Amino acid sequence: MEHESDSATRAARAAWYRGLFDEHYAKLVRYVERRITPREDAQQIAADTFEIAWCKLDTAAPDPAGWLYKTAKQKIYNYWTRQKRGTLAMSRAAEVAAPPAVPEDSLDKIAVHRALSVLTQREREVIILTYWEQLDAQAVADRMQMSVTAVWKCVSRARAKLHRALGDDVTFPKRHEPAGSRAVMHVAAD
């Protein structure tokens, strides 16, 4: 007997639910559409609302239509919260994916690094030690195991190559060399 009673109860619940759906589904979709632009999303929210109603709403509820609209309103709120999070995530992803603005001095550095590729390994090392590490000629000579005169000749050749690679507008910073180091260069050059 219980089995027939359960079947009758389920049938009565299904009939009640079908009536609720037939009476309110189209109205609920229009209600949601006024708050959410894509029709498909509005239809999905209405369908989700009725799914929740099937699982939770009691047939003896005093105001089933009010319950449906209240549930749909919460679903709309959740929808906009997800949309906002998605938009924020997309904008953050776009910020990360977008190449950073390159300052003009960075472009100059890139050009210098490219120009360094025209130098021999030895010339490149001497230029880097001289201008980036700011070592004097004696320190470069000691590190490279060469004479101070050879350092100056190497710097001179490298600078000439860099001028050709970078153009005439390139200038090298003036260095404060130890006393006598320029004299050695000039004497050696003479």
Tens digit of each residue's pLDDT (9 = 90 or more) over 146-162: 999 999 999 999 988 88
Q: Which residues contact 72 (CB under 8 A, 6 or more apart)?
A: 28, 31, 32, 45, 46, 49
Clarify whether residues 93 and 7 are in a common domain: yes
pLDDT for 182 equals: 41
The residue among 97, 129, 163 that closes a domain is 97
Instruction: Report pTM.
Output: 0.44
Give residue 15's domain range.
2-97
Clarify whether residues 6 and 88 are in a common domain: yes
Q: Stretch 31-50: mean pLDDT, rounded?
A: 90
Clarify whether residues 93 and 9 are in a common domain: yes
- Of residues 105 and 68, which shows the higher confidence score? 68
Give the chain's domain count. 2
Cα-Cα-Cα-Cα torsion 54, 57, 58, 63, nearest 10 degrees, comes to -130
Clarify whether residues 119 and 177 are in a common domain: yes
pLDDT for 91 equals: 60
pLDDT band at 5 (very low <50, low <70, confident <90, very high): confident
Clarify whether residues 89 and 8 are in a common domain: yes
pLDDT band at 89 (very low <50, low <70, confident <90, very high): low
Q: Where are the beta strands (DSSP E) in 18-84?
A: none
